Structure 1
Amino acid sequence: MMDRRSLLALPALLPGAALAQTPWPGRPLRIIVPFAPGGLADLLARPLAARLQAMLGQPVLVENRMGAGGNIAADFVAKSAPDGYTWLLGSIGPLAANQFLFAAMPYDTRTAFAPTSLLVNTPKVIVVARARPWQTLAEMLAAARAQPDAVRAGSAGNGSSLHLALELLKQQSGAQILHVPYRGAAPAVTDLVSGQIDLMVDNLPNILPQIREGTVRALAVATPVRLPQLPDVPTTAEAGLPGFLFGTWFGLVAPARTPAEIVARMSAAVDAALREPEIGGRLVEQGAVLGGGTPEAFASFIAAQITALEAVIRAANIRAE
């Protein structure tokens, strides 16, 4: 039996008690980015970190940890202390798709993290080489059905979001399109502009400059409504393929068991930062759709994405390179 003194001391021994007694944040924070400096995730992380630093009153450092499709960075965060000082700027791969692409995973996607904030969703747009005759999505799909594997589509590599989007397009349209994997989206865009390949299902921020310059032709956007950046480009539903919706998304997560009050505070700070013109306005100009919302909403979003992506990956038997 415990005496009265022991009972009074018990709350200090409970998990999270010490954290509750220490104001958060009390020291610098880290945002771990799974991809190389200069990429889309990195370009999102750095201005966000600068704004969070001003809002939270502590340095917010960005650290790039590349490799294994984002799994190295995600595993590092998953195994970090759940104290609110280490965060992952994750994406569709390490937070949803990789568990079906890799033979072995160092962490359990469904239990390793505390979802915090959906940051942005970058819509996919179906684009073709300017030299091709197709003016509509229906014309391109008709050509692909007439000559199986004659239409060649580039992607950023096996298992990339561009590849997953292409496979979903093939599954929903019945068109046999030849997948040509590249080491990154940039060389695929170069070959699309030069006409070496016919097609890409690319992230809008990545291909928007070429669309505006007229070096490629946009046939449809994989979104429920038209995009303000491309008001004259129809949605996939308007173009005759209503089931094809796809975007590459990025979000902030913490290690599982991070206190809910810290997760909520970070989520609120991120939401406020996204609404500021110097952060959110610039992202919208580049072709992103802003996220935000509650941790619970982001958790539900991730769960739905896991279900949808598992079906696409298993149907196409995709494996990571």
Structure 2
Amino acid sequence: MSFKFLTRLVSAAAIGFAAMTATASAQTYPDRPVRLVVPFAAGGSTDIVARIIAAKMSEILKQQVIVENRAGAGGNAGAAAVARSAPDGYTVLMGTVATHAINPALYVKMPYDPVKDFAPVSLLVNVPNVIVVNPSLNVKTVKELIDLLKANPDKYDYASSGIGTPLHLSGALFESMSGTKMVHVPYKGAGPALLDVVGGQVKIMFDNLPSSIGQIRKGGVIGLAVTTKERSPAAPEIPTVAESGLPGYETYSWNAIFAPAGTPQAYIDILAKAGAEAVADPAVKARLADLSAVAVGSTPAQLADHVKAEIAKWGPVVKASGASVNE
């Protein structure tokens, strides 16, 4: 028996053993709790969505999926912590449009690469934004708003939850696509911003639909249009921006699971399947719908494509807005 033949035989055996080990490991994964890091404070929309889905995934995986809030730096602190975690399938991130598309263009120094440092698992939900205005503005459609703004450049303010947030940049994208000019008024959160729009101190806001839907129904603000391609099942009476005066406009928030780069594909597939099953569950879907969140449950490959498209979309918007965070 030649030395070359023996070498090939040993190599083949090693590969076979590694494959058998990986298969056996996948059959037992997960055998302890999985930590789902939410990079924002408890009580926010991302946290609420994460807890609803985590509870169902715990049932499916037969192991606890424990939500851990790790807020800071617009989501960067929690995302960076996951990127640095062991790629063993037991620490994953509930990522968003902020952590994986906006922040890389907004922050001068990023503690992670949104593509290279993560393994996509599943896009779980999309959450529409909505354009709301104070009734005193006397506009009821997007076209009327655009006409008013074009006739009065830089006269009207719009509120957002802060500089560089998805809501701020939704307004910036609107200005860019409609050829209008407004004055951005950043707040420390969407709640106080909406209160000032209801009170009339600021006339316009780009908000998450779940945050504004109550005031829209009470008449505190007028919901001109949702920002997704299709109308929201939670408020089907509100048209889309695209159908009501600005074709091609689309923004929304989203929540997706990411694992650290290098996590075994078998583990990623198990998590993706559990996430998709969780958001497809009728009870979970109904609870998400109450929050105006639309269930998706994508494959890892679909999430990878989604992130690349979102980075390409939001990078130029951030640059055009002039927003920058030096941290």
**TM range, smaller chain:** over 0.9
> What is the aligned partner in structure 2 of residue 247 from structure 1?
252
RMSD: 1.9
Percent identity for Structure 1 against Structure 2: 41
> What is the aligned partner in structure 2 of residue 109 from structure 1?
114
Letter paired with 2:141: T
Retained in 2: the 8 A contact 1:19–1:83?
no
Runs of 4+, deviation exceeding 4 Å: 1-9, 11-14, 16-20
> What is the aligned partner in structure 1 of residue 265 from structure 2?
260
Give CA-to-partner distance per residue, 1:42-96, whole Å, 9 cap, x none.
Answer: 1011121111111111121111101011111111111111111111001011111
Q: 2:61 aligns with which of 56, 63, 73?
A: 56
> What is the aligned partner in structure 1 of residue 163 from structure 2?
158
Unaligned runs of 5+ in 1: none
Output the CA distance in 1 between the equivalents of 2:250 and 2:11.
Answer: 56
Q: 1:38 aligns with which of 38, 43, 47?
A: 43
Q: 1:10 aligns with which of 9, 14, 33?
A: 14
Residue 240 of structure 2 is aligned to residue 235 of structure 1: yes
Alignment of 1:278-317 (within 5 A): 278-317=283-322
Give how far 1:130 is off.
2.1
Give how far 1:228 is off.
2.5
Give CA-to-partner distance per residue, 1:16-58, whole Å, 9 cap, x none.
Answer: 8755443200111100000001011110111211111111111
Retained in 2: the 8 A contact 1:143–1:151?
no
Retained in 1: the 8 A contact 2:39–2:71?
yes
Q: 1:126 aligns with which of 117, 124, 131?
A: 131
> What is the aligned partner in structure 2 of residue 208 from structure 1?
213
Q: 1:87 aligns with which of 78, 81, 92?
A: 92
Output the CA distance in 1 between the equivalents of 2:146 and 2:190.
Answer: 22
Letter paired with 2:14: L
Letter paired with 1:10: A
Letter paired with 2:155: A
Letter paired with 1:65: R
Output the CA distance in 2 between the equivalents of 1:41 and 1:316.
Answer: 25
Output the CA distance in 2 between the equivalents of 1:231 and 1:295.
Answer: 30
Q: Which moved more, 1:222-231 or 1:89-98?
A: 222-231
Output the CA distance in 2 between the equivalents of 1:248 and 1:7.
Answer: 48
Output the CA distance in 1 between the equivalents of 2:232 and 2:74.
Answer: 29
Residue 21 of structure 2 is aligned to residue 25 of structure 1: no
Residue 187 of structure 2 is aligned to residue 182 of structure 1: yes
Output the CA distance in 2 between the equivalents of 1:21 and 1:277.
Answer: 32
> What is the aligned partner in structure 2 of residue 218 from structure 1?
223
Given the two structures, how large is their TM-score scaled by the length of structure 2?
0.92
Give how far 1:8 is off.
7.6
Aligned length: 320
Letter paired with 1:311: P
Q: Which moved more, 1:164-173 or 1:135-144?
A: 135-144
Instruction: Indicate the SS of the match to 1:180.
Output: strand
Give how far 1:244 is off.
1.1
Give how far 1:320 is off.
3.2
Change (3 A) 1:140 1:8: closer
